Structure 1
């Protein structure tokens, strides 16, 4: 395959990965909106369209494999293709976590932990994901470090929110009838916090792969 045509295929891969990232980000934002309004209809639509993300992932996975096979990549191309392959895996997992969040809407509807700023945590994760995708699109190494720095703030916020929930549980003295509802709500909110934290971790993974792709620097990979 001529080099010019090969470069076009590489450019198309980048565009398609960015497109997948935008689709996943939109899906995540819709899930968060559903969480905030307890909208079951949105949650149902998210679950019904999960296969679309999986199909997109499989298509891009095949594109990466084809690019490896079509022409022996030079070092920079090799890092780009490998990073793209890893990034679509993280995006697919973020989509799965968004589906998990949607599934928790029913039990979150009790509102027993409305004082927990889930929306603030969610906003940070969306921003981290969008910034990581933009860094990949623009070969922006500096932005990769900024995403990683925000993850430290997110982890701290998630830990404090979880501790607040546990303190509330300890302080509560529910009746037998209320206990099951309380435990269900505790479990739901803790899982929501955990999933948001994991989405942040995947955003850092995207940034780490991008940094490696751009500068051959594995400082953020763990």
Structure 2
């Protein structure tokens, strides 16, 4: 393959990865909205449309393999393809976590912990994802470090939220029947899983920033 055509294929890969990130961010936003609004129709859309994310992931995975096989890239091109491959893997997993939010919406019984601000955590992880992808698009090394630093704040929010759930559960009064206990425990489990999954979104955003830094500077500092 001529070098010019190869460079065009690399540019197309970058654009496709960015498109996938927009798609995944949209699904995550939909999952958060479904959860907040208890919108079962929207929740089902998030779940059903995960197939589109998976299809795109497989297409881009094959594109990466083809680019590696066609010209045996070295140095910067090799790091770019390898980083892009890892990034689409993280994006696909974020898509799965968005699907989980749709499932939690369908399972939710009621708001038993209104003081736990899941939406605030979700907004923070969405910001991290967008910042990580902007770092990839703009080749911004400083932004990579900023995403990693933001993860500390998200982790703290998740720990605080989880502690609030457990503390409220311990202090809860007026639970009389076994059925009430089972319902509350189901809601507790769902909420803790929601917090955990949002924390994982942040972790995947850090992974994206880490791979971008490696792509740009051959620096694996954020990977480990």
| TM-score interval (norm. to shorter) | over 0.9
1:25-40 equivalence runs, <5 A: 25-40=25-40
Paired position in structure 1 for 2:129? 129
Structure 1 residue 107: Cα displacement: 3.6
Task: Give yes or no for contact 1:31–1:101 (8 Å, CA) kept in 2.
Answer: yes
Q: Deviations over 1:78-111 (max 9, x none)?
A: 0000000000000000000000111001343401
Equivalent residue number for residue 171 of structure 2 = 171
Q: Which residue of 1 aligns with 2:161?
A: 161
What are the within-5 Å matches in structure 2 for residues 102-121 of structure 1? 102-121=102-121
Gapped regions of structure 1 (runs ≥ 5): none
Match of 1:2 in 2: 2
TM-score by length of 2: 0.97
- Cα deviation, 1:27-53, whole Å, max 9, x if unaligned, reads 101110111100000011111111111
Deviations 1:171-208 (A, max 9, x none): 11311232111101100100000000000000000000
- 1:172-211 equivalence runs, <5 A: 172-173=172-173, 174-176=175-177, 177-211=179-213
Q: Contact 2:43 / 2:106 at 8 angstroms: preserved in 1?
A: no
Query: 2: distance between equivalents of 1:122 and 1:46?
Result: 16
SS at match of 1:104: helix
Moved >4 Å (runs of 4+): none
How far did 1:112 drift?
0.7
* 8 Å contact kept, 2:31–2:46: yes
Structure 1 vs Structure 2 CA RMSD: 0.8
- Residue 150 of structure 2 corresponds to 150
Distance of 2:109 and 2:18 partners within structure 1: 34
CA contact (8 A) 1:147 1:207 kept: yes
The total of aligned residue pairs comes to: 222
TM-score by length of 1: 0.98
1:79 corresponding residue in structure 2 = 79
